[in-house]
Amino acid sequence: MKLKLLFLFTLFYSLSIYAQEKATFKIIGNPTNIERLARNKRLDISKIKVENISNQPIYLEWETILNTFPKEWDCSMCQHGNCQIGIPKGSVFKKLQPDQQGFIAIHVIPKKHISKAIVQFKLYDKANPEYFEILTFNVETY
């Protein structure tokens, strides 16, 4: 009897862990964008799309985990439902319905400064933070 209870407990525990880590969204395309632009040009938009693959509405949350953009660059970012000046620490997407796509995008005006820089975002479902994706934007000016 103890063996059966132990087996059932292990089974339910394993299923609960699997359920928590199951993805509710996916990246459409590549999770890394590499952009090269002349120092006197601007990057109007670099976008990474995501899609709700669950059968429920979700709220995707993100946080900036790396930002090496030079302070001289003018930059902003947009997410599904909102645009912001600069690269903020984090925010939440507007609700994504099942099969609906959203995005994170950046805009850069390097102001004639030559540099290589990276910004990375950790993206996860607020209801399922154990599963996440890292979105990376590499920008190089020449």
Domain spans, the chain? 24-141
Average pLDDT score over residue span 103-130? 94
**For the chain, what is the mean pLDDT?**
88
Residue 113 confidence (pLDDT)? 81
By three-state DSSP, how is residue 69 classified? Answer: coil
Residue 1 confidence (pLDDT)? 56
Is the pLDDT at 16 greater than 90? The verdict is: no
Average pLDDT score over residue span 25-45? 95
Residue 114 confidence (pLDDT)? 86
Percent of the chain with pLDDT over 70: 85
Contact 80, 97 (CB under 8 A): no
Question: What CATH number does domain 24-141 carry, 3.10.20.590, 3.40.50.280, 2.60.40.1510, 2.60.40.10?
Answer: 2.60.40.1510
Is the pLDDT at 14 greater than 60? The verdict is: no
Total residue count of the chain as it appears in this document: 142
Query: If pLDDT is split at 50, 70 and 90, which confidence band does 4 have?
Result: low
* Global confidence as pTM: 0.82
Average pLDDT score over residue span 29-43? 95
Residue 19 confidence (pLDDT)? 47
Residue 109 confidence (pLDDT)? 94
Which DSSP string corresponds to the chain? -HHHHHHHHHHHHHHHHHHHHS-SEEEES-SEEEEEE-TTS-EEEEEEEEEE-SSS-B-EEEEEEEE---TTSEEEEEETTEEEES--SEEEPPPB-TT-EEEEEEEEE-TT---EEEEEEEEEETTEEEEEEEEEEEEEE-
Is the pLDDT at 100 greater than 60? The verdict is: yes
